[in-house]
Amino acid sequence: MSRITISRSDPRRAFWPVGFLAPALAPLLLLLHLLGVHPWVLAALPVLLLFGVAPIADHLIGRDYRNIAPEVAQELARDPYYRRFMHCIVPSYALGILAACALVTRADFSLVQGVIFTVGIGFVHSLIVLVAHELGHARSARDRSMARFALSLIAYGHFGIEHNVNHHLKVATPEDPASSRYNESIYRFALREMPGVLRGAIEVEGKRLARRGLGWWNPGNELLRSWGVTLLIAAGLVALFGPEVLAFFVLHSLVTWFSITMANYTAHYGLLRRVVDGKREPCRPEHSWSSGFLFSNLLFFNLQRHSDHHANARRPFQTLAYMDDTPELPAGIPGLFCMMLLPPLWFRVMNPRLLAAVGHDQARINHGNTADAREGGRSRAVSSP
C-alpha cells in the first residue's frame, strides 16, 4: 500500500527556514563567546548538534511522505519565495564563515579545541553545497553565478562541473566516482571519490574548452575562475584575521568536501544500473536511496528525495516527490553520518537492506567491476554475508 499522500499546497512552506540554522550557528557561537561561554562548549557544540541533536530530532519528528499535486508543483516552481530563499541563504553562509573565522582566531582555543570546532563547523557549513547544488541545476544565469560563488567559499568549485555532467550521466555505475559500492567503507570511498570528482571536473572543463578552440590557460576556464575567487576570499580572510586563519580555512574546506562525500556515499550505496543489450539501462527510482525523515529533509533541502532529483534534475527542491518504489534508508542523513563512520555497523544495517532492495540479484549490485556490470542479463542470487 502506498504511503504517499497528495497535498494541494506546500505543507512544508513555513518550515523551510530551518535551512538557516546551519549558517546561523557560527554567529550564535561568536555571541556566546562574547558572553563568556567556556571554549570547550563552543568547540563541541557543532559536533553535538549535528551528530547528536539532529538524529534525535529526526526520529522524534518522524517521516513525511506527502507529495504535492502536479498542478500545484508547477505553481510552486514559479513561486519567487523559494528562489529568494536560496538567494538569501548564500550570503548568510558567507557571514557564517566570517563569524567562524572570528571565533577561531579570538576564542583562545587550544589546538584540540580548535580542531574539534573546525571539524564540527565544517560539517555544518557543508550544507552550503546543497544550496549551490540547487542553484547550479537552475536555468537562470544569476542562479548559476550564485552557485559558483557559494562553492568558492569552500574551495569546491569543481563539484558543480563534475556533478552536473558526469554524475548525472554515470550515476549507479562502476564508472561514477560518486556512487559507492557494495562493502566499500566510507574511508575507501572517500579516497576514490574525492580525487575522482576533481579529475572528472578537470576532464569535463578541458573538453568544453577544446570544443570552443580554447586552451586551458584562458579567462573562460570556469575552474580557474572559481579557484581564483577562492584565493581572493582566502586573501580577504587573512587581511581581516591574520595568517593563522589559513589553517582554519583549509581544514574547514576539506571537512566540507568530506561531508559531501559522506552524503554521496548514502545516495546510491551498492546500487547498479545494468548493461542490457549493450546499453546502460536508464536511471530509475530503484537506483537511488531515499529517506522520508522530515527534519533532515528540511535541513538538507529535500536531498533525501534523491530518486526524483535524478529523474528530474531541474525540478526545484520544494517540488521533489517521494517515490514508493525507491530503496528506503533507515535514518536521515545526520544519523547515517554517525553510522557510516563505523563501517561494521554500516554494513550490518545497510547490506541486508541493499540485498532486499535488489531482490538478492547480484547483477543489480555495484561491486565496482565494470566487466561484471556488462553481464547485466545474467542474474544471480546472493545472500547477506
* CA proximity to 155, closest of 126, 116, 188: 126
Q: How many residues does this entry show for the chain?
A: 385
Q: How confident is the model at residue 331 (pLDDT cuts 50, 70, 90)?
A: very high
Query: What does the pLDDT read at residue 9?
Result: 87
Given this model, what pLDDT does residue 311 score?
A: 82
What is the C-alpha to C-alpha distance for residues 58 and 50, in angstroms, rounded to an integer?
11
pLDDT-derived band of residue 2, with 50, 70 and 90 as boundaries? Answer: low
Distance CA 293, CA 194 (A): 27
Pull the grid cell for residue 277: 543489450
Count CA atoms within 13 Å of residue 120 on its CB side: 24
User: Are the C-beta atoms of 102 and 34 separated by less than 8 Å?
Assistant: no
Cα 315–chain centre separation: 17
Q: How far apart are CA 67 and CA 51, in angstroms?
A: 28
pLDDT at position 212 over 50: yes
User: How far apart are the C-alpha atoms of 339 and 66, rounded to whole Å?
Assistant: 27
Dihedral angle over CA of 136, 139, 143, 144, nearest 10: 50
Average pLDDT over residues 256-280: 93
**DSSP helix/strand/coil, 189:** helix
pLDDT at 8: 80
Q: Residue 346 in contact with residue 363, Cβ under 8 Å?
A: no
pLDDT above 80 (res 375): no
| Whole-prediction pTM | 0.91
Confidence (pLDDT) at 367: 94
pLDDT tens across 38-88, in order?
Answer: 999 999 999 999 999 999 999 999 999 999 998 888 899 999 999 999 999
- pLDDT at position 6 is 84
List the grid coordinates of 130.
Answer: 546543497
- Cell numbers that stand for 238 in this block: 587573512
**pLDDT grade, residue 370 (50/70/90)?**
low
- The rounded distance, in Å, linking the Cα atoms of 291 and 208 is 35
